[in-house]
């Protein structure tokens, strides 16, 4: 439900059709190849912008295309199909892979192991023509981001390691609950397409944009977030360069996440390739906020598990939970998604993980979500955990979400785009009071229940009192009814 003009949506759909009919049916592969082409075009567009700015300032600009003019999009986009495919494969793609890192080519450092797999000359030519027509980099920031999000919307299957794209309205809810601000460092250690980091960026911009100029779509997405109240250049530099940090163990997802952030206006996204559960990752407590929806399925080789972990398990959903805790500074906050098994499974590792949340953190909220939220990827039941590192939990606020604004079947059709989400945010922000769908449970009660965090364990059953009539009155009514029936039967016999 993105705010794209019909002609742009038509062009994106046409691009998808060309890739599918051209033999690239895997959506992840298709998006990756599209990203390479978008990057090729963006390089020249940005180089042209810097050249003009330098000229206006009467400065010199060293173009990345010096000596490689034939790698400019404008130079090869007019070639015939066969010549274009050969030129991109043998000249342009190697050029991009060998670019040195810099403000405009950060994406290039993750191109080292990239492979250009567009198989047909006709497909490349048609894709280049469609992307050229879109004028992506010449459009405003909102449209650039929406174009890429519309492409990503086709990722409708879960990855082999259990990762899948988190619905954007669920992400926005989690961001609202934590309420990030300028000056805080924000991390997603399983960043995927960078949805959490982009939503956090937009949330901060919204706080510093005049209300009258913000455009809110019916699905909750925000546009025209110009940040007109941010007057300090240092604050802009902080937001665009030193606020958002993401890690993923899949280089394809790193490239897609980087492109997504770049097209949403974050100049130097700190997205890195790393298996954050492995020994090679430094679990330093250096972030103010953690947002994440880590892979639910699978386990890691025990010999490669980071020695900083204290949990004796190879289950990734539990290791990630401890990782979130380890990455936060004292007083840092997290909003993360976990499968229901984390909340109630009775194994020693699960119990230890829950004790960590309750006894070494302030577990503020457990928001149970209906199983259909992650359709069509998965029917798994999940919950959002919100916690602060440090201290100890006194009360946990439980909320049982029944609707999220979309149908909970495979189709996930738009209903109102909200469901219980506004009530969750409002109730949480105003003291986590009890309501028809929410309630507070003291730590001691949870401890007595084996540290279980399943909402069903503490859900209050509504008992409806029924007032019964006095037995003597009931007997009198029955006797009267009996006499009436006897009289009617007697009349029937006389008539017969």
CATH number (domain holding residue 176): 3.40.50.150
Judgement on whether residues 298 and 365 belong to the same structural domain of the protein: yes
Give Cα separations from 202 to 126, 165, 184, 207, 220 (angstroms): 34, 18, 14, 9, 12
Is the per-residue pLDDT at 130 higher than 70? Answer: yes
Q: How far apart are CA 406 and CA 327, in angstroms?
A: 33
Judgement on whether residues 375 and 334 belong to the same structural domain of the protein: yes
Residue 1 — pLDDT band, cuts 50, 70, 90? very low
Q: Which of 105, 124, 152 is the last residue of a domain?
A: 152
Q: How far apart are CA 316 and CA 305, in angstroms?
A: 10
CA-nearest of 314, 383, 381, 385 to 356 is: 385
Region 468-485: mean pLDDT is: 71
Judgement on whether residues 124 and 234 belong to the same structural domain of the protein: no
Is the per-residue pLDDT at 386 higher than 90? Answer: yes
Residue 158 — pLDDT band, cuts 50, 70, 90? very low
Would you say 299 and 311 are in contact if contact means Cβ atoms under 8 Å apart?
Answer: no
Judgement on whether residues 189 and 51 belong to the same structural domain of the protein: no
DSSP 107-161: GGGG-TT-------HHHHHHHHHHHHHHTGGGS-HHHHHHHHHHHHTT--S--TT
Judgement on whether residues 181 and 146 belong to the same structural domain of the protein: no
Would you say 201 and 186 are in contact if contact means Cβ atoms under 8 Å apart?
Answer: no
- pLDDT tens, position by position, 391-434: 999 999 999 999 999 999 988 899 999 999 999 999 999 888 88
Residue 465 — pLDDT band, cuts 50, 70, 90? low
Is residue 389 a part of any domain in this protein? yes
Q: How far apart are CA 387 and CA 408, in angstroms?
A: 27
The number of helix segments (H) and strand segments (E) in the chain equals 18, 11
pLDDT cut 70: percent of the chain above it: 91
CATH number (domain holding residue 50): 1.20.1260
Residues 6+ apart with CB under 8 A from 259: 35, 38, 39, 107, 148
Is residue 477 a part of any domain in this protein? no
Judgement on whether residues 242 and 322 belong to the same structural domain of the protein: yes
Is residue 473 a part of any domain in this protein? no
User: Higher model confidence: residue 300 or residue 408?
Assistant: 408
User: Higher model confidence: residue 19 or residue 268?
Assistant: 19
Q: What is the mean pLDDT of the chain?
A: 89
Is residue 160 a part of any domain in this protein? no
Is the per-residue pLDDT at 488 higher than 70? Answer: no
Q: How far apart are CA 77 and CA 41, in angstroms?
A: 10
- pLDDT tens, position by position, 96-111: 888 865 454 567 778 8
Instruction: Please tell me the predicted confidence (pLDDT) of residue 105.
Output: 52
Residue 179 — pLDDT band, cuts 50, 70, 90? very high
Instruction: Please tell me the predicted confidence (pLDDT) of residue 226.
Output: 92
Instruction: Please tell me the predicted confidence (pLDDT) of residue 57.
Output: 87
Domain span including residue 289: 168-458
Residues 6+ apart with CB under 8 A from 416: 405
Q: Which of 125, 152, 179 is the last residue of a domain?
A: 152
Instruction: Please tell me the predicted confidence (pLDDT) of residue 161.
Output: 45
Is residue 372 a part of any domain in this protein? yes
Is the per-residue pLDDT at 195 higher than 80? Answer: yes
Would you say 191 and 197 are in contact if contact means Cβ atoms under 8 Å apart?
Answer: yes
Is residue 474 a part of any domain in this protein? no
Q: Which of 91, 125, 152 is the last residue of a domain?
A: 152
Instruction: Please tell me the predicted confidence (pLDDT) of residue 268.
Output: 84
DSSP 294-308: ---S-B--GGGB-TT
Number of domains in the chain: 2
Judgement on whether residues 182 and 107 belong to the same structural domain of the protein: no
User: Higher model confidence: residue 27 or residue 488?
Assistant: 27
Is residue 495 a part of any domain in this protein? no
User: Higher model confidence: residue 420 or residue 268?
Assistant: 420
Region 198-223: mean pLDDT is: 92
Residues 6+ apart with CB under 8 A from 366: 343, 383, 384, 385, 396, 397, 398, 399, 453, 455
Judgement on whether residues 176 and 311 belong to the same structural domain of the protein: yes
Judgement on whether residues 135 and 25 belong to the same structural domain of the protein: yes
Return the minimum-mean-pLDDT range out of 198-202, 294-298, 400-404, 450-454: 294-298
Residue 375 — pLDDT band, cuts 50, 70, 90? confident
Is the per-residue pLDDT at 466 higher than 60? Answer: no
Give Cα separations from 16 to 29, 413, 437, 471 (angstroms): 12, 21, 42, 74
Judgement on whether residues 272 and 141 belong to the same structural domain of the protein: no
Strand partners, 291: 335
Is the per-residue pLDDT at 299 higher than 70? Answer: no
Instruction: Please tell me the predicted confidence (pLDDT) of residue 463.
Output: 43
Instruction: Please tell me the predicted confidence (pLDDT) of residue 163.
Output: 54
Beta strands 186-188 and 244-248 are: parallel
Is residue 224 a part of any domain in this protein? yes
Instruction: Please tell me the predicted confidence (pLDDT) of residue 98.
Output: 85
Neighbours of 146 (CB within 10 A): 24
Judgement on whether residues 175 and 134 belong to the same structural domain of the protein: no
Q: How far apart are CA 239 and CA 246, in angstroms?
A: 14
Neighbours of 426 (CB within 10 A): 12
Q: How far apart are CA 194 and CA 366, in angstroms?
A: 23
Judgement on whether residues 172 and 308 belong to the same structural domain of the protein: yes
Return the minimum-mean-pLDDT range out of 176-185, 334-343, 487-496: 487-496
Q: How open is the CA angle 276-306-110, to the nearest 5 degrees?
A: 30
Residue 2 — pLDDT band, cuts 50, 70, 90? low
């Amino acid at each position: 439900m993105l705010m794209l003009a019909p002609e742009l949506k038509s062009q994106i759909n046409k691009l998808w059709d060309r890739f599918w009919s051209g033999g690239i049916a895997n959506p992840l592969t298709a998006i990756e190849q599209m990203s390479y082409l978008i990057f090729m075009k963006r390089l020249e567009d940005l180089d042209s912008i810097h050249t003009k700015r330098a000229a206006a300032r009467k400065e010199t600009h060293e173009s990345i295309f010096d000596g490689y003019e034939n790698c400019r999009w404008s130079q090869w986009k007019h070639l015939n199909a066969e010549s274009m495919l050969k030129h991109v494969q043998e000249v342009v793609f190697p050029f991009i892979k060998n670019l040195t890192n810099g403000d405009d080519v950060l994406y290039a450092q993750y191109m080292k192991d990239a492979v250009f797999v567009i198989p047909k000359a006709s497909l490349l030519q048609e894709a280049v023509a469609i992307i050229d027509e879109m004028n992506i980099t010449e459009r405003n920031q909102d449209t650039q981001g929406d174009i890429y999000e519309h492409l990503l919307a086709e990722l409708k299957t879960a990855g082999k390691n259990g990762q899948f794209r988190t619905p954007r309205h669920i992400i926005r809810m989690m961001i609202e609950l934590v309420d990030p601000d300028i000056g805080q460092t924000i991390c997603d250690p399983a960043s995927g397409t960078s949805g959490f980091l982009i939503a956090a960026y937009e949330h901060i911009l919204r706080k510093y944009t005049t209300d009258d100029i913000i455009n809110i779509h019916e699905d909750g997405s925000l546009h025209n977030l110009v940040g007109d109240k941010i007057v300090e250049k240092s604050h802009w530099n902080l937001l665009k360069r030193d606020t958002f940090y993401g890690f993923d163990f899949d280089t394809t997802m790193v490239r897609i996440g980087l492109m997504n952030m770049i097209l949403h206006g974050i100049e130097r996204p700190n997205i890195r390739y790393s298996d954050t559960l492995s020994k090679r990752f430094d679990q330093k407590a250096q972030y103010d906020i953690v947002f994440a929806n880590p892979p639910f399925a699978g386990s890691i080789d025990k010999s490669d598990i980071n020695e900083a972990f204290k949990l004796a398990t190879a289950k990734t959903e539990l290791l990630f939970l401890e990782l979130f805790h380890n990455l936060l500074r004292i007083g840092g906050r997290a909003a993360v998604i976990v499968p229901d098994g984390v909340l109630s499974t009775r194994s020693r590792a699960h119990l230890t993980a829950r004790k960590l949340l309750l006894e070494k953190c302030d577990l503020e909220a457990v928001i149970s979500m209906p199983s259909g939220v992650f359709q069509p990827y998965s029917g798994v039941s999940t919950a959002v955990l919100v916690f602060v590192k440090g201290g100890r939990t006194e009360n946990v606020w439980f909320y049982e979400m029944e609707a999220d604004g979309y149908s909970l079947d495979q189709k996930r059709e738009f209903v109102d785009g909200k469901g219980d989400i506004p009530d969750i945010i409002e109730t949480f922000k105003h003291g986590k009071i009890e309501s028809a769908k929410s309630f507070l449970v003291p730590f001691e009660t949870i401890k007595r229940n084996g540290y279980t965090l399943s909402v069903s364990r503490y859900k209050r059953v509504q008992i409806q009192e029924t007032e019964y009539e006095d037995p003597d009155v009931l007997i009198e009514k029955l006797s009267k009814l009996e006499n009436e029936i006897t009289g009617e039967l007697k009349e029937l016999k006389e008539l017969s």
